[in-house]
Amino acid sequence: MADTAAALSHVCVHFPGKALGPIDLAVAAGEIVTLVGASGAGKSTTLRLLAGLERPSQGTLTRAAGPGRTGFVFQSPTLMPWADAAANVALPLELSGLARDAARQRAVQALADVGLGDRSDARPNQLSGGMAMRVSLARALVTAPDLLLLDEPFAALDSVTRRRLIEDIHRLWAARAAPPAIVFVTHDVEEAVYLAHRVVVLSSASGRVTADLPCPGLLPRPDGWRTEADYRAAVEAVAGALEAAMGEAR
Ligand SMILES: Nc1ncnc2c1ncn2[C@@H]1O[C@H](COP(=O)(O)OP(=O)(O)OP(=O)(O)O)[C@@H](O)[C@H]1O
């Protein structure tokens, strides 16, 4: 069995007026898992738990990756408006103690990896939405994380830009000798299936996992290409599981 990158075991979170869980979710090293569920099902909370940003009220979190080995991309790029792209990307390296010049050099490389090699000096207000999200992705990847958490990072972007970004994420994932585990939240079923090895569906009512479906994906993988028919069948299966999970709340 593959090493576990992160796992939630019987985790419950109690917010005022809302209880989520118990959530059981294990992500293997190098695995790409997408989380889908209705609005309010607990997808962002699950990511925050995996990142160690939210404390379980009950249950346990296991993480192979330390805090410095986890990258998080939020729904909006959350860039410092006064700093250029390279300074934004360099921030986690500087916070971990790397000298400013060395951090900037690595940040410029990380920007080149996401296709922004010529925009290191640009301020966030000089970037398109897709470019700003690429800067945010570069900032999450610059520390070579073992666990990459993506919380609907493309929600505000057009479909062509989204597809390109997903393919870039897959390319960067595959380029690493030891690829990071990725947990990716999306509302888009096709997008979920396109990138994932597994799609996990959360119940609208409780945040529990109601379905855990292996996916063929369409991107090249070590275990080979799959057919369009396999992909369509997986999309149908995930859409059905999502509808059933949403029905639980009615
Ligand atoms: N800090 C908090 N205080 C109180 N309630 C919270 C808090 N964080 C989350 N919740 C509640 O927990 C539930 C799950 O929220 P969460 O943001 O994880 O859902 P989500 O599936 O990511 O939703 P969306 O798709 O709309 O982003 C919601 O009902 C939300 O209102």
pTM of the model: 0.92
Q: Is the ipTM above a cut-off of 0.85?
A: yes
pLDDT(133) > 80: yes
Residue nearest to atom 31 of ligand 1 (CA): 40
Rounded-to-integer distance, Cα 196 and Cα 218, Å: 9
Q: What is the mean pLDDT of residues 69-93?
A: 94
What's the 46 CA to ligand 1 centre distance in angstroms? 10
Q: What is the mean pLDDT of residues 7-35?
A: 93
| 90 and 142 Cβ atoms separated by less than 8 Å | yes
What's the 159 CA to ligand 1 centre distance in angstroms? 26
Ligand 1, pocket residues at CB < 6 Å: 15-16, 18, 20, 37, 39-45
Which pLDDT score, from 0 to 100, does residue 11 have? 96
pLDDT band at 47 (very low <50, low <70, confident <90, very high): very high
Question: Mapped to the 3 state alphabet, what secondary structure does the chain carry?
Answer: CCCEEEEEEEEEEEECCEEEEEEEEEEECCCEEEEECCCCCCHHHHHHHHHCCCCCCEEEEEECCCHHHEEEECCCCCCCCCCCHHHHHHHHHHHCCCCHHHHHHHHHHHHHHCCCCCCCCCCHHHCCHHHHHHHHHHHHHCCCCCEEEEECCCCCCCHHHHHHHHHHHHHHHHHCCCCCEEEEECCCHHHHHHHCCEEEEECCCCCCEEEEEECCCCCCCCCCCCCHHHHHHHHHHHHHHHHHHHHCCC
Q: If you average pLDDT over every residue of the chain, what do you get? A: 89
What's the 207 CA to ligand 1 centre distance in angstroms? 10
pLDDT(199) > 90: yes
Residue nearest to atom 25 of ligand 1 (CA): 39
Residue nearest to atom 2 of ligand 1 (CA): 15
**Most confident among 54-68, 77-91, 236-250 (mean pLDDT):** 77-91
Model confidence over 135-185: pLDDT tens digits?
999 999 999 999 999 999 888 888 888 888 888 898 899 889 989 999 999
Which pLDDT score, from 0 to 100, does residue 1 have? 47
Which pLDDT score, from 0 to 100, does residue 195 have? 86
Q: Which of 80-84, 157-161, 175-179, 235-239 has the lowest average pLDDT?
A: 157-161
pLDDT(227) > 90: no
Q: Is the dihedral of CA 140, 214, 66, 47 positive or negative?
A: positive
Atom of ligand 1 nearest to the CA of 48: 18
Residue nearest to atom 6 of ligand 1 (CA): 15
In testing the pocket of ligand 1, which one of 11, 13, 35, 43 has its CB within 8 Å of the most ligand atoms?
43
Which pLDDT score, from 0 to 100, does residue 248 have? 63
pLDDT(226) > 80: no
pLDDT band at 94 (very low <50, low <70, confident <90, very high): very high
Residue nearest to atom 17 of ligand 1 (CA): 44
**Most confident among 85-94, 173-182, 234-243 (mean pLDDT):** 85-94
What's the 211 CA to ligand 1 centre distance in angstroms? 20
Which pLDDT score, from 0 to 100, does residue 183 have? 96
